[in-house]
Amino acid sequence: MTLIHLRVSDAETQKPVPVRIRVADLLGNSFHPLGRQQFFLTQPHIAVGGQVAFENKKYYYIDGACEIDLPAGVYNIEITKGERFHSVSKNIEITQGQAALRINIERKTNSPWLNWISGDARCHDLSYPAAVLEGSAEGLDLVHLLVCENILPGTDAVDVSRILDFSGQEIAFQKFGCSLFVNTLNHHPFLGTIGIIHSHRPVFPLVSSSSESPGIWSLVDWCRQGHRKNGLITWVFDAANEYQGEALAALILNEIDLYEISNLSLEDNSPILFWYTLLNAGIKTKAVGSSGKDSNAVFLGHPKTWARKQTLSDMPTHLSWLESARSGDSFFSVGPFLELSITKITTLIEVQLIAHDLSPEDEIELVIDGKVITIDRDKSLASVVIVKNLDPSEFAWVSGRVISSRNNKPAVKAHTNPLFSTSAKGEVGQQKLEAIKKLEILFNNTETWLRTLLLKENKRVDQILEFITQAKAKLASGN
């Protein structure tokens, strides 16, 4: 073995920078930096941070320098640092007696990313140093770690020790140009799960159920506490949960700000397709992307939310991200840049979709009321500008997306928030009726469960049922 002192520097500043790196021989065997493990666990909530395994490849996060034992030979080295830098993938020969290896990573010039702020809206279980190291290496400006209750492996004991890390509206830790905030994830097995970001204080209980809390802490209680001083509330939708009726009601009645998407699949019951159902039902909800990282099998910032910088020069970065994400002036992505805007309004609406950093296999699409229109493009070009005229009376919402297939399964790589028509025809179409019918299943299941609760809980049950009734009425009226 030859001990190699490896350093990765910003080509512009010549200073070491955090990156994600993989070093492997030509047979695919990976080599780990000293102090890290070749074999590490990928189960949720266990020793999370500093490395990640994906598709039989192992990657490590370094602060720009590490030591690694390598026998003389040829190695493939992969290095990434988010969307603002060019990735590196090349073969390098290590010679006998070599002591050092220096690699530069270059910033992209004329980058569209410069006027945008990147954030991960939800992750768990990372330490402060690991969160900002991985965040910086993945090109994130902000990381939102949400404290949740975890069952310790092999026991019935609950671990909630991370609540001591709560920072709310203050930066918990900052390094390498990445800022970490710690807030809470609040869960009810029947009513739904929400993320509370930028809260003025922790909102308890983190987990509530009828058996543990006779008063039934409702999601609306949590939302209103989190909103008291400009907090941001996200619905962490669970496709396997047939209830979540109060979360849906809270979204309709504006107690929840954003719908969270961490799974980019387009398979049946995926969060993205459910988002389309919400939009088709007339609920003008905006989405936020998050990794939901809770293990060494998930990349932080996969996806990340890119929010436009606010024009106020003195606005802190995290508040700028917060307000742009809240308003939907954002998109989520795992690579491509994507921006949808209205450029002209006459009798028709002219929409413009700008995409950068496309790969040859990427398909770029417009989604109009859930219907997909694939755009022809020159696959040799990494950037494209698409302009399309739409009759405002003929659509309710339009969005843009980039998709790519892996193992014949299409998944989203980037998605804009929707633009809405203010002149759509008022009649209720079949598509809208079908969307509302799907949502009513969540309402009905939740109402059925609520009516099974003990008599002593009736007052709170009645309040939640009334809240759901108000949401159903608003949904039916289209207002």
Report d(CA 473, CA 11) in Å as an integer: 58
Alpha helices in 79-127 (DSSP H): none
Q: What is the pTM of this model?
A: 0.95
Nearest 10 degrees: Cα torsion 230, 231, 232, 237? -140
Q: Identify whether 433 is part of a domain.
A: no
CA-based angle 346:347:351, to the nearest 5? 60
Q: Identify whether 100 is part of a domain.
A: yes
CATH number for position 162: 3.20.20.140
Report d(CA 192, CA 8) in Å as an integer: 44
Amino acid in position 416: T
- Among the three residues 105, 134, 161, which one is the final residue of a domain in this structure? 105
Residue 282 — very low, low, confident or very high, per pLDDT cuts 50/70/90? very high
Q: Which residue has the tokens 């070093």?
A: 23
Q: Identify whether 434 is part of a domain.
A: no
> Would you tell me how many other CB atoms lie within 10 Å of the CB of residue 434?
12
- Share in percent of the chain as helix, strand, coil (round to 5): 20, 35, 40
Query: pLDDT per residue over 139-179, tens digit each?
Result: 999 999 999 987 776 777 777 878 999 999 999 999 999 99
Q: Quick one: 346 and 309 in the same domain?
A: no
Alpha helices in 312-457 (DSSP H): 317-327, 430-450
Query: pLDDT per residue over 227-279, tens digit each?
Result: 999 999 999 999 999 999 999 999 999 999 999 999 999 998 899 999 999 99
Give me the number of domains the chain comprises: 3
Q: Quick one: 86 and 118 in the same domain?
A: no
Tokens describing residue 196: 């509370």
Residue ranges making up the domain that contains 239: 111-329+447-479
Q: Identify whether 176 is part of a domain.
A: yes
- Among the three residues 105, 125, 147, which one is the final residue of a domain in this structure? 105
Q: Quick one: 235 and 342 in the same domain?
A: no
Q: Identify whether 439 is part of a domain.
A: no
Share of the chain above pLDDT 70, in %: 95
> Would you tell me how many other CB atoms lie within 10 Å of the CB of residue 212?
10
Q: Identify whether 239 is part of a domain.
A: yes
Nearest to 288 by CA among 320, 323, 328: 328
Strand partners, 363: 403
CA-based angle 270:271:276, to the nearest 5? 100
Distances (CA, A) of 315 to 174, 310, 321, 430: 17, 7, 10, 45
Q: Quick one: 122 and 253 in the same domain?
A: yes
Query: pLDDT per residue over 7-26, tens digit each?
Result: 999 999 999 999 999 999 99
Query: pLDDT per residue over 315-364, tens digit each?
Result: 899 999 999 999 999 999 999 999 999 998 888 999 999 999 999 999 99
326, 257 contact by CB (below 8 A): yes
What is residue 214's predicted lDDT score, i.e. its pLDDT?
47
Q: Quick one: 278 and 347 in the same domain?
A: no
Q: Quick one: 300 and 368 in the same domain?
A: no
The phi, psi pair for 114, rounded to 5°, reads: -65, -30
Q: Quick one: 116 and 230 in the same domain?
A: yes
Q: Identify whether 6 is part of a domain.
A: yes
Mean of per-residue pLDDT scores for the chain: 93
Q: Which residue has the tokens 């609306």?
A: 220
Q: Identify whether 441 is part of a domain.
A: no
What is residue 158's predicted lDDT score, i.e. its pLDDT?
78
Checking phi first, is residue 365 left (phi over 0); if not, alpha (psi -120 to 50) or beta? beta
